[in-house]
Structure 1
Amino acid sequence: MKRYVSVILVMGLLLSGCSKEKKEDKEAPVLTLKEKRIQVELNSKVDYQSFIEKAMDEVDGELISVVKYNEIDTSQIGQQEITYTLKDKAGNETKQTMIVDVVKYFKNKIFSPTQVKPEIVKNPEDITVLVNKVHQLPQDWEPNDLEPIIDSKFRYLRKEANAAFTKFYKAAKAKGIEIYSVSAYRSYQKQKINWENQVKVFGEEYASLYSAYPGRSEHQLGLAIDISYKNQGDNLTEKVASSDIGKFIESDAYKYGFILRYPKDKVSITNYGYEPWHIRYVGVDLAKKLHKQGITLEEYYKEA
């Protein structure tokens, strides 16, 4: 009996000792950033920690204060990188890198696309693709399904976008709304000429506000179209917003898969001036989502 009790006691001690052993920490801490790419102003100070969204370890807890990072030189225009490194007490390490474009902002808070090294998009045929000052189409890319639009045999959209625009156009006409296309698909070369003319006549600041650098124009996608309430004269101005077609764009464009690409209250996000005449086809599902949430394509991809 004593021997039996001794065995039980020994086993109990062994089990008790095992339960007190700490499990080895082999799990790397979690480190996430708020942005993948940002633009900062020339000669500005950078708040490096403000871009950290989460720095957490399952064992050590919150670790934002111990995240290490390299500093960048904001006195030089161009692309740089900030690498954030987080190491927990057990020595497990995680790294995240953020691309930084150091740019010179104009007084209107717009920066020139000429100062930015763009990312070449890999899916230009996707109707939801993001093209802007930092996302560029391949220079030789052009749509293979362009069709003349309903009110001009000299202007083109991609097949799906054209079908949607035809419905939008007819719906406007049915309401007695005047609607005229002004510009649709533009090739890389045509956009190059357009950009250079804008710079020559109005200067780089104005061109950066209202014109896209070649390769970074939505018009090259064959999914964007500029429309107005009149077909001649100074027809692409903010007056479009208060016209019947401008109001129809705001209220109904999303139902046909189009979005107002450059809203008045989103200039700091799109980095383009307010263009109440420029609509972009993204498909009905995404257009409805963006309209409901009141966000731009930039904001959508940031959240994705």
Structure 2
Amino acid sequence: MKKIALLTMIGALCLTGCSIVKEEDKTAPALELTKTRVQVGVNSQVDYQSYIQKAIDEVDGDLISAVQYNEIDTSKTGQYEVQYTVKDESGNESKQTLLVDVVKYFQNGIFSPLGVKADTVDNPEDVTVLVNKLHQIPEGWTPDDLEPVIDNANQKLRKEANEAYTKFYNAAKAKGIDIYSISGYRTNATQTLYWNNQVKVYGEEYASQYSAYPGRSEHQLGLAIDVSYTTQGDRLSEKVADSAIGKFIISDAYKYGFTLRYKKDKVAITNYGYEPWHIRYVGIDLATKLHDQNLTLEEYYKQ
């Protein structure tokens, strides 16, 4: 009875003079963006809110409406940063950065690489490396295991890619399919010549669609090769798609580690025009995955 009376007394004292101590909130809100880098056209309006994936605090709940960000000037091409910041009621803060490339878009939906700051890849020797308008090869890097391909001593591929290409070539020939190697490895000087010539003859829009800016070409990796059904005339055109080798690329290239890099239905993703002649070695495992799931390298690296 004495114990009960003591507890009752303590309870009464707490009701009149005690207060519950609230634990201090030291956890910052969880702030996530939908992307880390985006491209927008010159003079376009940026929907900054659309890039916020979530802004949630354990105590304050949904804070998306409280997210602050700076706006950028889209009147000039170049790379800009948008800093997203959100604070909870306790003053805990989270930040995320969105890189925005302001680019020159053409009517075909492809943007020019001019004025675009490319990230330099740190693994150019990896057969699965992504090189495109936004990712470039380190300056001065060249493959050290180039070999001439089976049907053209003037065209080369890296050893692993060349061994796979030889198997692919022999398989095509065994089926009676005409296949000719048109363009394999290119030096930076050669790619510069290609780019400048395309711009001079056909203009920047065409060059941006069918030629890579120097340092951003898969041909410089020694892993890509253009093939055709002929060595004459317009050998690299969409006619390749309807040829026996074009169809063989679609059905069998992945079995040898190659992927059709620039597909007709993926132009907006690869940012290059449809090239049924351009195959890229990525290894059998990845090539099979890209084939089975209809993915580009860009889509694969976003997974």
- TM range, smaller chain: over 0.9
Which structure 2 residues correspond to residues 1-304 of structure 1 after superposition, within 5 A?
1-2=1-2, 4-9=3-8, 21-303=21-303
8 Å Cα contact 1:184-1:222 kept in structure 2: yes
Per-residue CA distance 1:33-71 (angstroms, 9 max, x = gap)? 111111111111110011111222222222211111100
Per-residue CA distance 1:111-148 (angstroms, 9 max, x = gap)? 11112111111111111111111111122110011111
The CA deviation at 1:177 is 1.2
- Amino acid corresponding to residue 84 of structure 1 in structure 2: Y
Structure 2 CA distance for aligned equivalents of residues 166 and 180 of structure 1: 12
Structure 1 CA distance for aligned equivalents of residues 78 and 232 of structure 2: 41
Q: 1:13 to 1:292 in 2, by over 3 A?
A: farther
8 Å Cα contact 1:139-1:188 kept in structure 2: no
Structure 2 CA distance for aligned equivalents of residues 19 and 294 of structure 1: 62
Structure 2 CA distance for aligned equivalents of residues 20 and 157 of structure 1: 73
Structure 1 CA distance for aligned equivalents of residues 275 and 19 of structure 2: 67
Structure 2 CA distance for aligned equivalents of residues 243 and 70 of structure 1: 52
The CA deviation at 1:302 is 1.8
8 Å Cα contact 1:35-1:302 kept in structure 2: no
- Amino acid corresponding to residue 193 of structure 1 in structure 2: L
The CA deviation at 1:19 is 11
Give the total of aligned pairs: 302
Structure 2 CA distance for aligned equivalents of residues 122 and 238 of structure 1: 34
- Amino acid corresponding to residue 50 of structure 2 in structure 1: S
Q: 1:223 to 1:8 in 2, by over 3 A?
A: same
Structure 2 CA distance for aligned equivalents of residues 255 and 241 of structure 1: 18
Structure 2 CA distance for aligned equivalents of residues 247 and 19 of structure 1: 78
The CA deviation at 1:163 is 1.1
The CA deviation at 1:10 is 6.0
State the TM-score, normalized to the length of structure 2. 0.94
Aligned residues with identical type, % of pairs:
69
